[in-house]
Amino acid sequence: MIEVIPVPALSDNYIWMLRDPDSGTVAVVDPGQDVPALDAANQRGWRISQILTTHWHPDHTGGNSAIKAATGAIITAPAEAERLSPVDRIVAEGDRVSVGGLEAMVWEIPSHTAGHIAFYFEEAKIIFVGDTLFAMGCGRLFEGTPEQMFANMQRFAALPDDVRIYCGHEYTLANARFAAHVEPDNAAIAERLAAVAAMRTRGEVTLPTTIGEERATNPFMRAPDVAELARLRTMKDSFS
């Protein structure tokens, strides 16, 4: 089984560290800082050999250069990441990325940023989605459109229920409160809000989530059309 470790960084980011147990190959996804990632690897006796980047924002690329300098790791990223990070391999829709014996397909999922990508490890049933999909939410539309985000949500929703989703931030509690506000009669949302609130009180990580959970409790994935997603996103931008 693939190992995936959450490494907290900055105020609410997660750097995801994955290891292929057969080869021992280790990759980090979206390291916004170098020290937390390097420390987490060193504590486990792991050596980072790859960096997978989903989009260009500094809280997802800030550690790339220092990790590469310390380990020689190869950076795989969308072209937009070159704004802030060295990139060894630029990837786009349909490209494949290997981490030891594990293979991911690259998805282009623009909307949060214009060149945002995801890494979908189909056999392992895991997907790294950066800031496009969150547990019970979706990313802000900084460089894209509601149409793009709606298409992304439909694409995610078509995956099997048991695919695990690794997001870039610990936003679940705030998203759950918004979901309960817009779907007050959804019992699954109410139950999940209570569970997430208890987890955060205990200081626990609420990720990964799954496609099945998101279909049941994520208002953005449940939106029936572009107009409803756009309405929800505008509401969420000012919700407190």
Catalytic residues: 55, 57, 59-60, 112, 131, 169
User: Cα 121 to the chain's mean position, in Å?
Assistant: 13
**Sign of CA pseudo-dihedral 8, 172, 201, 162:** negative
- Measure the CA angle with vertex 63, ends 35 and 37; round to 5°: 40
Determine how β-strand 133-134 pairs with β-strand 26-29: unpaired
Which of 91, 28, 39, 96 lies closest to 62 in space, CA to CA?
28
Distance CA(117)–CA(176), nearest Å, equals: 25
SS3 content of the chain, % helix, strand, coil (to 5): 35, 25, 40
Helices 172-182 and 187-201: angle between axes, nearest 10 degrees: 150
Residue 21 pairs in a beta bridge with none
